[in-house]
Copies of this chain bind each other. A is one copy, B any other.
Amino acid sequence: MSAPSVVRSVAALRSQVRAWRGAGLRVGFVPTMGALHDGHLALVREAMARCERAMASIFVNPTQFAPHEDLSRYPRDEAGDLAKLASVGTHLAFLPTLAEMYPEGASTWVEVEGLSKGLCAERRPHHFRGMATVVTMLLNQAQADVAVFGEKDYQQLLIVRRLVRDLAIPTEIVGGRTVREGDGLAMSSRNLLLTPEHRRLAPTLHRVLTDTASELADGRLAAPVLHLATESLQKAGFRDVDYVELRDAETLAPLAAAGAHPARVLGAAFLGPVRLIDNVPVMSGSSEAPR
């Protein structure tokens, strides 16, 4: 496949999107922070299944990292990323500079209340404000018909859906399913930071969440099951377990038990300095394995 056109300014991005849309072509968009893996490429394929043109952005957004977090360690590989985008036929790669995204005096924040509380927000209190702000910027810059966000960052996906609806951003948000390694580990750029030993332990997170979701499928009280899940992770070698929780799949309201509404089990835990997250649906009243 041919390499994507690389665009670094909003003006050039908009001019290309305008030309495509003017020619009646639908445009799909996948915002990323780079360090691409098959999970990202699946999101690009999802965009291509829905649109004639697909774009990805690569921007490691500083405002969603806290000072003590891993911004400087976050993996970066522009040439490798562009080769991967080319391999699936991505038409355009948007690689804005920091100054293009945050001009001098930038001082506007987008915040989603409610959904941005709890779960990952406990450990990362300003993370979702930075994410919501940069996603609003990227969507307004791109003016795409569709944008695809991975279900692996489930709280993020719900926040994006909410802000797009609330702020009337004219782009349809699509959730892309989580792509996993052969051993079940959810693909993540952060997996590259794991030591070989931690990499061997990492799939335990998915296995524990899946087992937990299966046990909760019959509607039993969640608290003791979630408690045991946390203990299992700690015993398996996870240093800190931020949370293992049962939540409403649409509102993220905490649930005492799975019931009529779709529910999800979400977890976050550390292996050494690396924080891994994952989530799986609860298949209530069904013996089907959660994906």
Is A166 interfacial (CB-CB < 8 Å)? yes
A71 to B77 CA separation, bound complex (whole angstroms): 53
Once the chains bind, are B113 and A111 in contact (CB under 8 Å)? no
Query: What mask results when residues 78 to 114 of chain A are scored 1 for a CB within 8 Å of chain B, else 0?
Result: 0000000000000000000000000101111111111
CB-contacts of A110-146 with B (<8 A): 110-115, 132-133, 136-137, 140-141, 143
A211 to B57 CA separation, bound complex (whole angstroms): 53
CB closest chain-B residue, reference A113: B107
Is A198 interfacial (CB-CB < 8 Å)? no
**Which of A103, A105, A107, A251: most chain B Cβ within 10 A?**
A107
Is A190 interfacial (CB-CB < 8 Å)? no
Once the chains bind, are B107 and A170 in contact (CB under 8 Å)? no
Known: A137-B168, A168-B140, A169-B140. A162 touches B112 (CB 8 A): no
Is A177 interfacial (CB-CB < 8 Å)? no
Once the chains bind, are A107 and B103 in contact (CB under 8 Å)? no
Once the chains bind, are B170 and A106 in contact (CB under 8 Å)? no
In the complex, which residues of chain B have a beta carbon less than 8 angstroms from the beta carbon of A201?
none
Q: Chain B's nearest CB lies how many Å from the CB of A251?
A: 8
Q: What is the predominant secondary structure among interface residues of chain A facing chain B?
A: mixed
A165 to B141 CA separation, bound complex (whole angstroms): 11
CB closest chain-B residue, reference A163: B108
In the complex, which residues of chain B have a beta carbon less than 8 angstroms from the beta carbon of A136?
167
In the complex, which residues of chain B have a beta carbon less than 8 angstroms from the beta carbon of A137?
166-168
Once the chains bind, are B107 and A115 in contact (CB under 8 Å)? yes
In the complex, which residues of chain B have a beta carbon less than 8 angstroms from the beta carbon of A251?
105
In the complex, which residues of chain B have a beta carbon less than 8 angstroms from the beta carbon of A166?
103, 106-108, 137
State which of B10, B103, B106, B162 has its C-beta within 8 Å of the C-beta of A108. Answer: B162
Give 11 pairs: A residue, B residue, CB < 8 Å, sorted on A.
Answer: A107-B112, A107-B115, A108-B111, A108-B112, A108-B113, A108-B132, A108-B166, A109-B113, A133-B167, A140-B169, A141-B168
Known: A137-B167, A137-B168. 11 other contacts (CB 8 A): A10-B168, A14-B170, A103-B165, A103-B166, A107-B112, A107-B114, A108-B166, A111-B111, A140-B167, A140-B168, A140-B169
